[in-house]
Structure 1
Amino acid sequence: MNLATNYLGLKLKNPLIVGASPFCDEVDGASRLEDAGAAAIVMRSLFEEQIDHQQRSMSYLLDTNPGEAFSGAREFFPAYTDYPLTPNTYLEQIGHLKSTLKIPVIASLNGHRPGAWTDYAHKLESAGADAIELNLYHLITDPLMSGKQVEDDMIETVHNISSVVKIPVAAKISPYHAAPAQFALALEKAGAKGVVLFNRFYQPDFDLQELDVHPHLTLSDSSELLLRLRWLAVLSPHLKGSLSCSGGVHRAEDIIKALLAGAHTVQLVSQLIKEGPRVLTQLLLGMRRWMEERDFEDIDVLRGRLNLKRCPNPAAHERANYIKVLQSRSR
């Protein structure tokens, strides 16, 4: 049985990728993931703000009053020493992982707008990263900023990064765009070799005792997969590059569904946090069992079988299903 897949031009032994997370901070932990069946790993994100901080620090040491550096904004962000990996140690960690692992190591950059920080992609490539995942996280709070301006900045950022490296770049996006299909095509035209669906926005909570707002992040569950399946099915007939499903993948059935919708790979974090590396072995076993029961010998045969390629009018199809659901609920 062939579970191999191609993602961003990388040949993977199966579609299971460890998503961006602290799992790769230690080489031993990453090795256990590889032994359990991981086909590739994505390192935790290196943030635009970290790189800018480092560059500003170097600059003000030469010609700026330290008290003025990064004034106004720095108080909102974690202190430079609070990040588990600084930009320099991040590069060193890539080298450590590459010297130990046989599977691809994907670096992760988290940012949303053009700037000098994008040049850091070249350093990630030089350190040995096999690919770069660019997490385009941006929650718009400025009422004067248009959706077009936001997307134009993201597209330019993808172009700037992909143009300075030879390794493939994947864009990780949110579902909150007016026209995700058009945006994904624009990212591909800008140089992205793949799209990851989706990043997860944190949902802050209110502390009624302290009357304060607290960042809050919960682990995903399989219910989050449905949104990914819809857009994988919409996008997969149109994109030339790779698609990866991130969020809501917890069971072997979730992986099969993502493949049927058109994904080349799936990314796991929450389930690994809950059960540890052994869950990867169990998921692969469950995939093989499902495929054997239905006489599927290759996951390429599964990919995209339930996308909208064969649908003559996808918009009407989606609208009709929407109406059917509402009508069935009213009975």
Structure 2
Amino acid sequence: MDLTTHYLGLTLRNPLVASASPLSVSLDRVVALADAGVGAVVLYSLFEEEVHREELRDVAIVETHEHAFGEAMSYFPSTARPMGGEPSAVSRYLRLLERAATTVDVPVIGSLNGSTEGGWTTFARSMQDAGAAAIELNIYFVPGDPHTPGRLVEDRHVEILREVKENVSIPVAVKLSPHFSSPGEMALRLDEAGADGLVLFNRFLHPDVDAERLTVEPGIVLSRPEEARLPRSWIAILHGHVTGSLAATTGVERAEDVAAYLLAGADVVMTASALLRHGVQHAGAILTGLEDWLARKGFRSIDEVRGRLAVPPEADPTAYERAGYVAALQRGRDTYSSLGIR
């Protein structure tokens, strides 16, 4: 069975990709993911705040000593190691990326998580120099100011992408939120701006209120298969309308979830929650299940599956989705009308 697929111009041995998570914070874990059979690994995200914090620390050190005497420049501390002698978050990340890229036989993708313009480009170039096969921009921007115009949010995404693309030659994917007024138009804008791929969708980990402790708590919840319907719908709409790759993420637990995403039009399917929940060896179980499904349905390759259930090119996508919505409501009425709820 041929599971070979293509993503961001890269050839992958199969469409299952380990997305950014704590499972890729060390070389041993990256090796374990590759040994489990995934087609590519996205390293854990380096956060913009980490980079800026270390930049500010280094500036403070330099400003403290720069007028000490004429040879001060010769003893400014390296950004690779803060005062305590431990490698910085930036240098640790680049070192892991470099070692992983030369150790495993699958593409290793760097991940940048941030929300503002500037500061991304230098580090993106450093990722490329460290051996990243591609870069995933995880633009995590929640406009907390209610006066923020929606177009400003969209423009920021496009500008961040353009800045990074101007400074690297490797492929760049953008991990998108579903919370745009028109996710399709946002996808097309990013595609036109040069995105080599789109990852649909990012899951915002919103904080929550603990009514007993009277505190605001971080919200960390692993995804479930039922959450896949939203990204799968948009992948089905966008298939054939963008030139870049489409990566699916969220709600991938079983081989059937991967198959459903491929049928909708995804080039690759990413998972983290299932591997965190069941262990990295679960990747092998998913791939075995995918091969069984392909054989059972009479398919010989991934290419024969991709996009078979995408929105037909001649269809009106809005009417198509509306028809699906109405059909779902009707099924709900038929299913639950006998319960006698008034």
TM norm structure 2: 0.88
For 2:159, the aligned partner's letter is: E
What CA distance in whole angstroms lies between the structure 1 residues aligned with 2:8 and 2:292?
27
Query: Structure 1 pair 306/116, CA: closer, same or farther in 2 (3 Å)?
Result: same
What CA distance in whole angstroms lies between the structure 2 residues aligned with 1:90 and 1:34?
18
In the TM superposition, structure 1's runs of 4+ consecutive aligned residues that sit over 6 Å from their partners are none
Q: How does 1:129-278 map to 2 (within 5 A)?
A: 129-278=132-281
Residue 33, structure 1, aligned to residue 33, structure 2: yes
Residue 288, structure 1, aligned to residue 291, structure 2: yes
In the alignment of these two chains, the number of paired residues is: 316
Q: CA deviation at 1:99?
A: 2.3
Q: CA deviation at 1:27?
A: 1.6
- What is the aligned partner in structure 1 of residue 332 from structure 2? 329
Query: Structure 1 pair 200/64, CA: closer, same or farther in 2 (3 Å)?
Result: farther
Q: How many percent of aligned residue pairs carry the same amino acid?
A: 41
Q: Is the 8 A contact 2:237 2:311 kept in 1?
A: yes
- Report which of the two structures shows the higher radius of gyration computed on alpha carbons: 2
For 2:188, the aligned partner's letter is: L
Query: Matched residue of 2:94: which SS?
Result: helix
- What is the aligned partner in structure 2 of residue 90 from structure 1? 93
- What is the aligned partner in structure 2 of residue 119 from structure 1? 122
Q: Is the 8 A contact 2:120 2:164 kept in 1?
A: no
Query: Structure 1 pair 117/310, CA: closer, same or farther in 2 (3 Å)?
Result: closer
What CA distance in whole angstroms lies between the structure 2 residues aligned with 1:167 and 1:214?
38
Query: Matched residue of 2:14: which SS?
Result: coil
What CA distance in whole angstroms lies between the structure 2 residues aligned with 1:60 and 1:117?
21
Query: Structure 1 pair 21/310, CA: closer, same or farther in 2 (3 Å)?
Result: same
1:281-316 Cα offsets, whole Å, 9 max, x none, are 111111111111121001111100111134521211
Q: CA deviation at 1:326?
A: 2.5
What CA distance in whole angstroms lies between the structure 2 residues aligned with 1:135 and 1:176?
14
- What is the aligned partner in structure 1 of residue 77 from structure 2? none
Q: CA deviation at 1:259?
A: 0.3
Q: CA deviation at 1:89?
A: 0.9
What CA distance in whole angstroms lies between the structure 1 residues aligned with 2:156 and 2:64?
28
What CA distance in whole angstroms lies between the structure 2 residues aligned with 1:231 and 1:85?
39
Q: CA deviation at 1:260?
A: 0.5
Q: CA deviation at 1:85?
A: 6.9
1:164-196 Cα offsets, whole Å, 9 max, x none, are 001100000111111111111111122210000
What 5-or-longer segments of structure 1 have no aligned partner? 66-79
Q: Is the 8 A contact 2:246 2:268 kept in 1?
A: yes
Q: Is the 8 A contact 2:4 2:13 kept in 1?
A: yes
Q: How does 1:10-21 map to 2 (within 5 A)?
A: 10-21=10-21
What CA distance in whole angstroms lies between the structure 2 residues aligned with 1:85 and 1:98?
20
What CA distance in whole angstroms lies between the structure 1 residues aligned with 2:180 and 2:64?
39
Root-mean-square deviation (Å): 2.0
Query: Structure 1 pair 208/312, CA: closer, same or farther in 2 (3 Å)?
Result: closer
What CA distance in whole angstroms lies between the structure 2 residues aligned with 1:230 and 1:117?
31
What CA distance in whole angstroms lies between the structure 1 residues aligned with 2:221 and 2:291?
30
What CA distance in whole angstroms lies between the structure 2 residues aligned with 1:17 and 1:61?
41
What CA distance in whole angstroms lies between the structure 2 residues aligned with 1:29 and 1:326?
44
- What is the aligned partner in structure 1 of residue 310 from structure 2? 307
Q: Is the 8 A contact 2:240 2:313 kept in 1?
A: no
